[in-house]
Amino acid sequence: MSTSDQLRAVRAHFGFSQPALAPWLGLSRALLASIETGREQLPAHARPWLRPWLAALAQAAPEAAPASEAAPAPTLPPGAPPPVAARWAECHYQAQRLRQQQAGLQATHRTAARRLAAGPLLRAALPAPGPDVPDAPAVALRRRWLARLLEAATDALRPEAPGSPLAVALLEARRQGYLHEAAWLEGL
């Protein structure tokens, strides 16, 4: 796998934009983009900082693909009064919208869990603080970057967080309510 493929895989798996990952690697966003497109090579100073991400990616357990609901296109029996047909269509629209919200929340939750799981490898990549640390300001910057990353991931995994399993379950309850109402309208 080429370096550009590795960078894209790390960014995709851990949910990073180029500007978000660039400080850890000690690169500008523009240089990171050039590396990902194959126009530039990864500088030697950035390779040690990419390794822990690759190790975390290699250790990641393969995940099952999210179950996609292949719902048949709903159809209302012909002859339904216009207000009933409009409400039925609105119920299906809202149910689909809530399903998309659920998928987004679940993706946020998975990304936070992946980042938190990578934390120990990233911490291990940082040299111990001390006077003989080469490029101490850059290491301090990475320490702060990592602390913010792990704090945000921890916050995203709290039970009261927007992407928590409870929030997803509440969205599912609302979605089922819309689907139930649509099924009731079909029976009119």
Residue 66's pLDDT band, with cuts at 50, 70 and 90, is: low
pTM of the model: 0.80
Give the integer Cα–Cα distance in Å for 153 and 149. 6
Section 34-61 average pLDDT: 93
Cα–Cα dist 89/92, whole Å: 5
The sign of the torsion formed by the CA atoms of 12, 67, 118, 116 equals positive
Helices H, strands E: what count in the chain?
7, 0
Confidence of residue 115 (pLDDT cuts 50, 70, 90): very high
Residue 106 has pLDDT above 70, yes or no: yes
Q: Where are the domains of the chain?
A: 1-60, 73-188
At 146-178, the pLDDT tens digits run 999 999 999 999 988 877 888 889 999 999 999
Write down the CATH superfamily of domain 1-60. Answer: lambda repressor-like DNA-binding domains (1.10.260.40)
